Copies of this chain bind each other. A is one copy, B any other.
Amino acid sequence: MTSYYGEYEKVWVSVDCIIFGFDHGKLELLIGRRQLDPGRGEWSLYGGFVAPDESLEEAASRVLHDLTGMKKVYMRQVGAFSAVDRDPGERVISVAFCALINVQDYDDNLRREYGLEWVSVQSLPPLYSDHRMMVESAIDLLRRHIATEPLYFNLLPDLFTLTQLQHVYEAIMGEEIDKRNFRKRVKTMQFIEQTRLIDKQSSRRGALLYRFNKRNLGSSSSFKL
């Protein structure tokens, strides 16, 4: 072996994708039945092995793309999970990534094709191996980053009502918040911009639609709602 590190052992490395969406007023997760032995049939995150010619980020994007047909999705590394016996079959280190998608952009045919389900993060079934830990770490990560990055909008359509935005906030933070105070805060954020369009889906009266405007990010260093 013509290797610098030949004396050390290699291991399998995989990625697992934690795919968050927002629907039915809740934060939801896309999970499926594991396709491989061991653990075949258990509820599981979707994952894949890392190939020699791709980074972890590339592997995660590939898996996500296979599963959703979507590219340019917001994704972020959650962390590496490496308990020696975490995989019941072999020694595999897995790096979790979380993705935030707008469920309206997601092709539900793909979901059925792969046998995936959206489940509320509040009521997850038991998951394969350490996948539940991964999910919990991912939520912790989202909460820590949400004050410094405009994350909410990844879970919403381009046009959204303030009530939707508030529900996303509440779902991620896990706490309810006063409607008037919330709207007061939104008004101070130049990067959330009112349109003249009205959404008639969710109420008889109709609600003004807003949009996220990247161009107005410049000055604001806080996205704290």
In the bound assembly, the distance between CA atoms of A83 and B80 in angstroms comes to 15
A92/B5 contact (C-beta < 8 A), A55-B82, A56-B82 known: yes
A49/B8 contact (C-beta < 8 A), A56-B80, A77-B79 known: yes
In the bound assembly, the distance between CA atoms of A38 and B5 in angstroms comes to 10
Interface residues of A in 184-224 (CB under 8 A from B): none
Which of A9-17, A99-107, A114-122, A171-179 forms part of the interface with chain B?
A9-17
A93 at the interface (CB under 8 A from B): yes
Interface size class of A (residues with CB under 8 A): 35 or more
A82/B50 contact (C-beta < 8 A), A37-B4, A144-B144 known: yes
In the bound assembly, the distance between CA atoms of A38 and B11 in angstroms comes to 21
Hey, which chain B residues are within 8 Å of A80, CB to CB?
56, 77, 79-80, 95
Q: Is the CB of B12 within 8 A of A10?
A: yes
Q: For the complex formed by this chain, how many copies does it contain in all? A: 2
For the residues of A in contact with B, the DSSP-based class is loop
Indicate with 1 or 0, residue by residue over A45-67, a CB within 8 angstroms of chain B CB atoms. 00001111111110000000000
Q: Is the CB of B83 within 8 A of A55?
A: yes
A5/B82 contact (C-beta < 8 A), A10-B11, A11-B10 known: no
Chain B proximity of A52: nearest CB distance (Å): 5
Chain B proximity of A199: nearest CB distance (Å): 35
A84/B4 contact (C-beta < 8 A), A12-B10, A13-B13, A144-B144 known: no
Chain B proximity of A95: nearest CB distance (Å): 5
Contact of A57 among B3, B38, B82 (CB under 8 A): B82
Query: B-contacting residues of A (Cβ < 8 Å)?
Result: 3-5, 8-13, 36-38, 49-57, 77, 79-80, 82-84, 89-93, 95, 144-145
12 further A-B pairs in the complex, CB-CB below 8 A; given A3-B89, A9-B49, A144-B144: A4-B36, A4-B89, A4-B90, A5-B89, A8-B12, A8-B51, A9-B51, A9-B52, A10-B11, A11-B50, A55-B83, A57-B82
